[in-house]
Amino acid sequence: MTQAVQAYAYLRPSTLSRESDRNDLALQTSGGATPAGLQAHPRFFTGFLTAPEAAAAALLSVADVAAARYHQPQLRASLDPVVTAGGDRLRFESFSGCCGVYARLDVLHDGLDGDDIGHGTTNVDVNNPLREALTRVGGADPLHLRVGPDDLTVTTMDGPVVEKKVPLPDRWLRGFAETQVIAAGFDLRAELTAAEAVRFLRALPRGGRVGARRGAQWVVPAGRTLRPTSRPVPGAVCLPGPERLTALARVLRHAVALRVYGPPVTAGAAPSASAWEIELPAMRLTLTLSPDASRGFSGEGAVLDALATDEAAEDAELVGVLLAWEPRIDVADLAEQAGLTPARVRAALTRLGTAGRVGYDTAEAAYFHRELPYEAERAERHNPRLRDARALVEAGAVRLEAGGLATVTVDDHHHRVRADAAGRLSCTCLWWARYRGGRGPCKHALAVRIQRRAATDGSAGPRAGGSRS
């Protein structure tokens, strides 16, 4: 498994201290992008959280996911959460070490009372003493928040005094990108009141209990609640590994509602990802679950079609210039500015997602601009299926034929790739037989797509009809 080392450098640890009549939460930052360029320790906000106890609990939930491995839990993760300032809100994001759970806390405008909210993305230090202190925040205590160092710290410290170095696997980066693309295919499937949400979530199995790890389960809306069902049916939502929703337990006492999002489901459908959103006072906490507790987002393949085309790469370069730290990206406006169709803009946003430059908010059904503070382009460079597909094209292994057919030759095996009326590709390989497109295209279908694009554009590259020696 390819991985690099992620280095964090903070001027001091994040702290929660008592200041006369209030609690003061100082979140330290480590490197990030802003409208003014890269900054070592950006500052995004100073002011009060209007729902302090709920906000402290929600921040802990995000930190729980960042520190967790729901599959093989004996191995610990330690990647610090990411915060994005979008001018009207703060978004805190984390991703589990097993690549199967994505968490995001959206602190909306009404949840913040203070200075103007800045623009940019950075990592924030969440250490064990801070976690312990956050558990003691009470509802009657005002909570002052500072994201980034104060002026005194910047002027008196001559270098970082807190450093962390942790492994950053490529599959973690790929998974972070995949969640945005998968979530873009979700719709609202159910909405529960606070009382029903608490009743439903508290009845779910937890880790270590009998039945907690029996695989994907399904639920269907039933009146004001959700009812378990033994199999996928139209209108159902997959609940894969329900014990992975335990991070929501911290905020249940503050819940206003629970909303559940997922893709369209038909009878006999395979397990799918889903998103579970707790509405809080002026905040939203969302957990997105991969299709199985033992299956991370990194292998879902949702981004591969967009990565395989040069057109999407060129469009992404243009669309990326037009992003302006908007908390809600309007595809129609971007299409007009870029002179592209909405479909091409969406493909470009998918591509930008692989570099960590956009996320997706299921509550608002909209992308948002952020710049992950990682070398996220590695997710594309080291994607094994995409790398193998390009190698097949370079080796002349793809032969395009009439009627939407193609043959991809690998050693002594000939794989037949066929396009249906809608342009979707299928293959005779074992990968396709096993997943039927449920985890994205196989390397042979990707290679055919790349070859066809090259033939259509007349670009340099292997000629149609080549074969592998």
pLDDT digits (tens, 9 = 90+) for 34-47: 998 889 999 999 99
Distance of CA 126 to the CA centre of its chain: 19
- Residue 293 is given by DSSP the state T
pLDDT of the residue at 459? 47
- The residues near 53 (Cβ < 8 Å, ≥ 6 apart) are 137, 138, 139, 141, 254
pLDDT of the residue at 209? 44
pLDDT of the residue at 360? 93
What are the extents of the domains in the chain?
A: 3-167, 181-207+214-296, 304-379, 383-457
Buried b (16+ CB within 10 A) or exposed e, 190-218: bebebebbbebbeebbeeeeeebbeebbb
pLDDT of the residue at 346? 87
Residue 234 gets the label, from left (phi > 0), alpha (psi -120 to 50) or beta, of beta
C-alpha pair distances (Å), 103 with each of 92, 98, 139, 261, 459: 8, 13, 24, 14, 41
* CA 356/CA 123 separation, integer angstroms: 13
Closest CA to 319 of 303, 336, 304: 336
pLDDT of the residue at 431? 82
pTM: 0.82
| CATH T-level topology, domain 304-379 | Arc Repressor Mutant, subunit A (1.10.10)
Q: 278: which strand partners?
A: 258, 285
pLDDT of the residue at 211? 39
* CA 288/CA 2 separation, integer angstroms: 25
Largest distance between two CA atoms of the chain: 78
Closest CA to 401 of 345, 352, 467, 344: 467
* CA 33/CA 118 separation, integer angstroms: 11
pLDDT in tens, 204-236: 877 544 334 456 789 999 988 999 998 899 999
pLDDT of the residue at 72? 67
CATH architecture designation of domain 181-207+214-296: Roll (3.10)
Q: Which residue has tokens 């839990």?
A: 73
Q: Which residues of the chain have pLDDT under 70?
A: 1-3, 72-78, 151-160, 207-215, 298-310, 375-383, 438-439, 456-469
